[in-house]
Chain A
Amino acid sequence: MAEPTIVKLENVTLGYYTIPKGWRSLFKVKQPIVFNVNLNVIDGERVVIIGESGSGKTTLLKTILGILPPFQGKVYVLGKSIYDLPAKERKKITRQIGYVPQDPYKSLNPRVKVETVMMEPLERSNLTDREKRERIVEALKLVQLHERILEYYPMQLSGGMMQRVLIARAIVHDPEILVLDEPTSALDVSIQAQVINLLNNIQRKLELAMLTVTHDLAVAQYLADRVIIIYKGRIIEEGETRKVLTQPSQEYTRLLISSYRASI
């Protein structure tokens, strides 16, 4: 039996609209960023998308999260083409995605306690308050944080702790897939190692699919079974992590690896 597909992109072209100068400003112009992308993430798989800044990797995540309709192609999440559904139905499905944003310092509201942050994903569930609390404590335990921090404001936490709170929030509602946007780039190396190990433990324990976006090749080899190299909005290489990073078939991948080696 084939493994169930969690996320599937079919010939997706997407981007943003720009408004040209002059009288033509009446018309919006399509500005594609990502071209003809096919992508498949199956249950329990760890996939990493590698690309430089401006290659369209974050844009790709936005469409999976259901907040950026593609110009062309179909986006399937949990077997449903989400942009063919009405907005309400779409949200019901995309709620099954756990999302960890890039910069923990910018993603937590400084005026809201950690408890409220953690409660948000559970708001629409029909659990009792006690069950919600239990869930939250359980999620915090998975990221090695103490219950005590629920009473804290984000600014009282360190960067690594904030990032772990965000990971806990992403898994508290028991999602099918964890989507991470550069999970370690804002962190120090010692905390980075901690977060990488933590993510792998969670993935193994909850048997989640994990889709990560990063520009750091060395981090990618720890977080991926399969890597996808994206350049100027096109997928140019994909395959098993070890194979792609040791014997790349494309010139660009080779260049990426050699410049990474030389700079670090």
Chain B
Amino acid sequence: MVLAVKAENLKIGYEDEEIVWAVKGVSFKVEVAEIFCLVGESGCGKSTTGNAIVGILPPYSITDGVLRVFGKTVIEGNKRDYTGVRGRVVSYVPQNPGSSLNPYLTVEEQFYYVLNSVYGWGRRKALEEAAKYLKMVDLDPGRVMDYYPHELSGGMQQRTAIALALSTGAKIIVADEPTSALDAHLRLGLIRLLTRLRDTIKLTLIFITHDLLSAGKICDKIAIMYSGRILELGPSGKILTEPLHPYTEMLVDAVPILGVLKPLKAYGGEPPPPNVEVKGCLFLDRCPKKFEKCYQSHPSPEEVHERIVECWRYV
């Protein structure tokens, strides 16, 4: 079976005075119709990884390793080729739907522009397709089509952005923090919508978030990223209930849960800045369970209990 996304030792850097590596070698597989989460703090490289899958890395970025999307190699070494993939196979739903839709165009025009530039369709064909996808996300095409983005509510904007992403026939959607700007009940609606799309049209979802709990609610698999590496990767239920890596433990401890008044554990410290060469484990500074080995080098990924963990305690 073809994998939706496969990354092998993928590295992504940005060219500054010297190369700053945002992603320092990650490997993962995403199966078709799977919901995969990249979880981490700001600056850990999760958005960069997402951008690499969609093909919207800036021209001054530098890559290494291999990335395949539905069997097509899109990144190999420093060569990138997204023809036939970007937009048609993978699509992107940004964090803030309000600022991602063009404020000068009605919803109808937005769909026409996208479908016309990707497939060269005429207005009638484009709008027929648009109506189909708007219905899929529970919007009434007759009502929404003539609206400007600011006339829609936050949840409707978000759903319009999803319909727009789907309308090109995309099989994979990369969603960058889609729920962080929403209230609880809108978030619930969005989660239900996305899981339904996964079941009905076999959509593969790559979900980028910093909220471990909402990730656990939606996703089949979670990858915990830190400072450009995946520290722990595995099925979401297991990661939340029996975290192996100290960093995952720390994230689980830090999340407030409604109805459970446990003391919130706040671990101090910050991830190492991306332009600094770190000797030893990347998580060393904040790790409460470090020992001699951790000071020498960053551990390589090991398979433990159906999970992949990068920690010297499991080598």
Contact = CB atoms under 8 A, between A and B. Distances in A.
A194 B269 CA distance: 10
B261 interface: yes
Contacts of B129: none
A218 B257 contact: yes
A115 B187 CA distance: 39
Interface string A178-194: 00000000001111111
Interface in B155-210: 179, 183-185, 187-188, 191, 210
A149 interface: no
Contact of A190 (B43, B179, B251, B258): B251
Interface in B248-278: 250-251, 253-259, 261, 264-268, 270
A264 B259 CA distance: 12
Contacts of A197: 264, 266
B254 A189 contact: yes
Given A215-B183, A245-B258, A259-B184, A189 B266 contact: no
A188 B217 contact: no
A148 interface: no
Given A159-B42, A189-B210, A192-B254, A264 B184 contact: yes
B266 A257 contact: no
A10 to B, nearest CB: 29
Contacts of B26: none
A246 B211 CA distance: 23
A194 B250 CA distance: 12
B266 A194 contact: yes
B214 interface: yes
Interface string A192-225: 1110110000000000000000011111011000
Interface residues of B, number: 33
Contacts of B257: 218
A263 B217 contact: yes
Interface string A230-264: 00000000000010011000000001110111111
Residue of A218, A255, A261 ringed by the most chain B CB atoms within 10 A: A218
B185 to A, nearest CB: 4
State which size class the interface on A falls in.
20 to 34
A158 B43 CA distance: 10
B154 interface: yes
Interface string A152-172: 000000111000000000000
Given A188-B42, A188-B210, A264-B213, A218 B258 contact: yes
Given A218-B258, A246-B259, A190 B41 contact: yes
Given A52-B183, A188-B41, A260-B184, A222 B256 contact: yes
Interface in B78-115: none
B225 interface: no
B256 A218 contact: yes
A218 B256 CA distance: 5
Interface in A39-71: 52-53
Nearest to B216: A264
A83 to B, nearest CB: 31
Interface of A: 52-53, 144, 158-160, 188-194, 196-197, 215-219, 221-222, 242, 245-246, 255-257, 259-264
Q: Which 10 pairs, one residue from A and one from B, show the smallest C-beta to C-beta distance?
A: A194-B266, A218-B256, A193-B254, A263-B188, A260-B184, A193-B264, A259-B185, A263-B187, A193-B266, A218-B258
Interface of B: 41-43, 154, 179, 183-185, 187-188, 191, 210-214, 217, 250-251, 253-259, 261, 264-268, 270
